[in-house]
Amino acid sequence: MATRTATWAYRDRFHESFARTYFRRFSTSLVSSIGIGTYLGDPTDAVDERYGATIVEAFEHGCNVVDTAINYRNQRSERVVGRAIDTAAVDREAVLVATKGGFVPFDGARPPNPAAYVESTVADPGLATRDEIVRGNCLAPDFLEWSLDRSLENLDLDAIDLYYLHNPETQLERFDRSTVYDRIEEAFVRLEARALEGDIRHYGVSTWEAFRVPDSHERYLSLPEIVRRARRAASRAGASSTHLRAIQLPFNVRMADAFTVEAHVGPDGPTSALWFAADAGLDVFTSASILQGELANEGTIPLAVDRRLSGDTPAQRAINFARSAPGVTCSLVGTGSSEHVPENVAAGTFEPMGAAAFDAVFE
Ligand SMILES: NC(=O)c1ccc[n+]([C@@H]2O[C@H](COP(=O)([O-])OP(=O)(O)OC[C@H]3O[C@@H](n4cnc5c(N)ncnc54)[C@H](OP(=O)(O)O)[C@@H]3O)[C@@H](O)[C@H]2O)c1
């Protein structure tokens, strides 16, 4: 597990190479505000090798956050992360390892008959009913526990620092919102129990649409309701306080709705996902921080914004936009290309935008 001592020692090793606020607090740890993601890429040995090299390089050059999910590249991404942690000249306890459960993962390769695979892996052993699996997404507690155990094995870790429920809004395709909240609460009860057992340190909710869309949207989920459910789950599991600690959502200069759409009701009325999270003490990890590579191309960041951002390359300026937003602890950037690691990590040598400059972008 990431510890205070090891992450502070990691920060001491690297902080002089970076600008102020590059390392940020996450619970008792200090983490880099740029993290490495492992979503894209084919499920092949060649891509495994490339990811392995980039993750080690990132760890050894000042990035101590890695994000994966059991279903990414058919469990290959988690296994690569596990090997990279082992190989890198960095203490495991200096790294925040985040993964996700909620999609039925294939094992190494797509099976010839995916429906039969899901049936024999999940439904037949009774981990979930067929009805609970919506486009591969499943929040059934027994399935999640099975998934978490597999993630621990894939990552070869005793504990996961941050375990997300993965895109729970997928369930809204089949079930009404109150049923989905109930299912999320049941999942949280199990995650609270696993946190008490020491298998996970914190948990979170990772979404693609739920938290950044207006409340009238069919995929909307309310953050205040998620927090209420987490508190209830903690008390049902016998925890003194909830282990819900983070959310993950897409955020970049062209997808800024987590800052602009006020869909979550706080004490002062509706507010954005980013502000609600900040006020509720939830850390935010941004995904798609460079719009899946698009913002690395010259001319793709709107000129009026680009002028206010620091960084030598468009990718660096896009990363710096994402990690300048209020409440953001870390911006994740996926890369399986070695040449992109130094460029992306070096975005952290520039100051992020101040709050006033960030707000001014939207005026
Ligand atoms: N919960 C969710 O639904 C969800 C969804 C999406 C992502 N995520 C998480 O967030 C992470 C980041 O998002 P993402 O990977 O989708 O998108 P991203 O980080 O915005 O972009 C990744 C893409 O950008 C390219 N790239 C990286 N650095 C570059 C550079 N300096 N110059 C040019 N191209 C560059 C990468 O190619 P190379 O591989 O060639 O470097 C890759 O194709 C993911 O890896 C994943 O961990 C979560």
Chain segment 29-70, per-residue pLDDT in tens? 999 999 999 999 999 999 999 999 999 999 999 999 999 999
Beta carbons within 10 angstroms of residue 308's beta carbon: 16
At residue 306, does pLDDT exceed 90? Answer: yes
User: If 0-12 CB within 10 Å is exposed, 13-18 middle and 19+ buried, where does residue 283 land?
Assistant: buried
Ligand 1 near 50 CB (within 6 A): no
Rg of the chain, C-alpha, whole Å: 19
State the distance between the two ends of the chain, measured CA to CA, in whole angstroms: 42
Distance 336 CA to ligand 1 centre (A): 9
Q: Is 231 helix (H, G, I), strand (E, B) or coil?
A: helix
Residue 337's pLDDT is: 95
Give me the residue label for tokens 């009026």.
304
Q: What's the token pair of residue 236?
A: 């049902």
Asked whether the beta carbons of 258 and 251 are under 8 A apart, the reply is yes
| Interatomic CA distance for residues 249 and 286, integer angstroms | 5
Residue 363's pLDDT is: 84
Give the residue extent of every domain in the chain. 4-337
Distance 290 CA to ligand 1 centre (A): 7
Q: Is 72 helix (H, G, I), strand (E, B) or coil?
A: helix
Give me the residue label for tokens 């809004």.
169
Residue nearest to atom 32 of ligand 1 (CA): 296
Residue 89's pLDDT is: 97
Ligand 1 near 206 CB (within 6 A): yes
| DSSP for residue 295 | G
User: If 0-12 CB within 10 Å is exposed, 13-18 middle and 19+ buried, where does residue 339 land?
Assistant: exposed
What are 149-207's pLDDT values in tens digits?
Answer: 999 999 999 999 999 999 999 999 999 999 999 999 999 999 999 999 999 999 999 99
Distance 233 CA to ligand 1 centre (A): 33
What are 93-137's pLDDT values in tens digits?
Answer: 999 999 999 999 999 999 999 999 999 999 999 999 999 999 999
Distance 326 CA to ligand 1 centre (A): 21
At residue 317, does pLDDT exceed 90? Answer: yes
Answer whether 0.85 is exceeded by the pTM: yes
**Domain 4-337 carries which CATH code?**
3.20.20.100
Whole-number Cα distances in Å, 332 to 23, 31, 39, 213, 229: 14, 12, 11, 20, 27
What are 250-284's pLDDT values in tens digits?
Answer: 999 999 999 999 999 999 999 999 999 999 999 99
Residue 230's pLDDT is: 98
**Percent share of the chain, pLDDT over 70:** 100
Residue nearest to atom 26 of ligand 1 (CA): 293
What are 336-362's pLDDT values in tens digits?
Answer: 999 999 999 999 999 999 999 999 988
